[in-house]
Amino acid sequence: MAPKRSDVITQGFERTPHRALLKGTGVPGEQMDKPFIGIASSFTDLIPGHIGMRDLERFIEKGVHTGGGFSFIFGIPGVCDGIAMGHRGMHYSLPTRELIADMIESVAEAHRLDGLVLLTNCDKITPGMLMAAARLDIPCIVVTAGPMMTGRGAEGRRYSFVSDTFEAMAQYKAGVIDEQQLQVCEDKACPGAGSCQGLFTANTMAILTETMGMSLMRCATTPAVSADKRRLAFASGQRVVQLVRDNITPRQIMTRAAFENAIRIDLALGGSSNTVLHLLAVAREAGVDLPLEVFDELGRQTPQLASMNPGGKYFMEDLDAAGGVSGVLYQLRDRIADNPTLSGLTIRQIIDSISEVDEEIIQPVDRPVRPEGGIAVLFGNLAPKGAIVKQSGVSEKMMNFEGRARCFDSEEEAMKALMGGDVKAGDVVVIRYEGPKGGPGMREMLAPTATLMGLGLGDSVALITDGRFSGGTRGPCIGHISPEAAQGGPIALVQEGDRIKLDIPNRRLELDVDDETLAERRRNWTKPEPKIKTGWLARYASVVTSAYTGAVTKAE
């Protein structure tokens, strides 16, 4: 085998102190010549998607040692977006993506690890780990810990996190369900370990990771705490050692073709709009040119093939049984580019290995759920640099909509108005100063969007924001508006009562105010004081870029 990165700390008399410290951790001397594999684990007791990782760590370790390597576990932080939702904590969610990438880079470089197994599951953790893999470009493999099973109730009812907590909360407020029904939802929505059951951001990112070839086949959809997931963890540990020996690195896998394949699968499933931010950020680290417009170009060419929760009826356990990611690749086979994967198979070989797909769940291209993909990119005088809508969750009635602007300078102001009954049919709720800089941290707006649905306003009220949405969002909700309000974007100039026009089929988002009036408003606009002035979020706000570039950090 060629010289290893870890030779720098294990070989030669000059490295006696380094070997002494390694032996102090329990590494036997005869193991010093083996590939050193880091297991970056985001285990925590705080997140359902991560509580089963101690078990997976054991099986990854077994795989690494069976493959001829020596493993070292190190910790990576995780934030649960659901728990962080609707309060100060959500400011920290997206920024942790950058922290995670930086921490993995720091540990891998400081200790000269030869390869990495990236054990992840939830929203910002998976893209942060992919960013680190692309940046380091050393042999890496991703293990996503798997989706949660749905909760079960009487008469076969299935419960899931978003519709049976956030939307149920608004239904209770509206008198649609009573306190006892609300309590049942709370008790049934999250029955155990795993990422939330629908095609929210965590599961969408797991699917895109497998599509790009950065995890083994079926890793994305195999349920948490299953024997299959243990076996995948073991196989991933074995495989990473061979990747080190063959010097197969992430940038050989994460090509432009890999990203376009991932976007197509996202579109075909109607996945989370957050993936736009994350794929742009990962592509930047991989040195791949991926303009925002590509998402819309592919969206017009790629039909939606599955009706997945939250906008549809199927859950991750259904998608897994139907054929998983490989099944979706098979149905899109004439539109998917060939590309290598870390499994050793190419995408074409994976497609050729498929013999059966449940076409009730993963429909064929000649019988799609919708003729276009799940995500659309909008432009217009309200979003000169673009905005994102998950059109798979929008009813036909709301694909074209015009309404009266109701302006709020924070999520909290908007929620107060919604819960107080101050938002009416025909309104467009404008939530601004929640972008990457203005938030800071580009908070998710699941609470307002779920409240709209729970109050029965999903077909009569639109919501636009320079913040972002949970993968669980459905309805006419447009996010990522760029430039953001804190940078003086047009959304900062909207006034109460202005008319706003939404035209999703033609990809337009327009403020019905003439240029002269907007110019006068801009002259009178004053940039507000930062919402957070201390701590690392203040530093983050000073270096984070706009949503249309992935909300990444860069040195000024």
| pLDDT value at residue 545 | 94
The pLDDT, as a whole number, for residue 76 is: 97
State the burial class of residue 3 (Cβ atoms within 10 Å of its Cβ: 0-12, 13-18, 19+). Answer: exposed
Q: Which two tokens stand for residue 431?
A: 């939530």
Active-site residues, by number, are: 470
Residue 555 has a pLDDT of 63
Per-residue pLDDT, 465: 96
Whole-number pLDDT of residue 474:
78
Identify the residue whose tokens are 């994976």. Answer: 350
Virtual CA dihedral for 392, 394, 400, 402, nearest 10 degrees? -140
Mean pLDDT for the stretch of residues 111-115: 98
pLDDT band for position 162 (50/70/90)?
confident
Which of 45-59, 334-348, 376-390, 448-462 has the least mean pLDDT?
A: 448-462
* Predicted confidence (pLDDT) at residue 9 exceeds the cutoff of 70: yes
| CA dihedral sign of residues 435, 486, 386, 212 | negative
| pLDDT classification of 392: cutoffs 50, 70, 90 | confident
pLDDT reported for residue 173: 83
- Look at residue 100 in the predicted model and tell me its pLDDT: 98
Question: Is the per-residue pLDDT at 345 higher than 70?
Answer: yes
- Burial class (CB within 10 angstroms; exposed 0-12, middle 13-18, buried 19+) of 197: buried
pLDDT more than 70, % of the chain: 99
H runs (alpha helix) in 174-273: 179-188, 201-211, 227-246, 250-253, 256-269
Please state the residue numbers annotated as binding site: 81, 123-124, 444
Find the range with the poorest average confidence among 388-392, 433-437, 445-449. Answer: 445-449
Inform me whether the pLDDT recorded for 471 exceeds 80: no
pLDDT above 60: residue 556: no
| Pairing outcome for strands 477-482 and 383-390 | antiparallel
CA 233/CA 56 separation, integer angstroms: 6
- pLDDT of 1: 64
User: What integer pLDDT is reported at residue 297 of this predicted model?
Assistant: 94
Is pLDDT above 80 for 439?
A: yes
- Give the residue with greater pLDDT, 374 vs 71: 71
3-state SS string for 81-120: HHHHCCCHHHHHHHHHHHHHHHHHHHHHHHCCCCEEEEEE
3-state SS of 304-324 is ECCCECCCCCECHHHHHHHCH
Instruction: Please state the rounded mean pLDDT for residues 422-446.
Output: 94
Average pLDDT of the residues in 446-451: 84
Tens digits of residue pLDDT in 73-106: 999 999 999 899 888 999 999 999 999 999 999 9
C-beta separation of 195 from 309 below 8 A = no
**pTM of the model as a whole:** 0.94
Q: What is the pLDDT of residues 283-327, one digit of tens each?
A: 999 999 999 999 999 999 999 999 999 888 999 999 999 999 999
Positions at the binding site for Mg(2+): 81, 123-124, 444
Alpha helices in 341-410 (DSSP H): 347-352
Which residues have a Cβ under 8 Å from the Cβ of 314 and sit 6 or more positions away? 306, 307, 308, 361
pLDDT category at 119 given cuts 50, 70, 90 is very high
Residues 503-532 have pLDDT tens digits of 999 999 999 999 999 999 999 999 999 999
Q: What's the CATH fold of domain 6-13+32-149+192-353?
A: Rossmann fold (3.40.50)
CA distance 299 to 294: 8
Among all chains, which residue has been given the structure tokens 């993968």?
471
Report, in angstroms and rounded to the nearest whole number, the Rg of the chain calculated over CA atoms. 23
Q: Which of 408, 451, 415 is nearest to 432 (CA)?
A: 408
* CATH 3.40.50.2300 residue spans of the chain: 6-13+32-149+192-353
Q: Which CATH number fits domain 376-549: 3.30.70.20, 1.20.210.10, 3.40.50.2300, 3.50.30.80?
A: 3.50.30.80
What is residue 7's predicted lDDT score, i.e. its pLDDT? 96
Q: What sign for the dihedral angle of Cα 319, 325, 331, 335?
A: positive
Per-residue confidence at 275, pLDDT binned at 50, 70, 90? very high
> What mean pLDDT is reported for the chain?
94
Dig out the tokens for 254 from the structure: 């994460």
Query: What CA–CA distance (Å, rounded) separates 144 from 325?
Result: 14
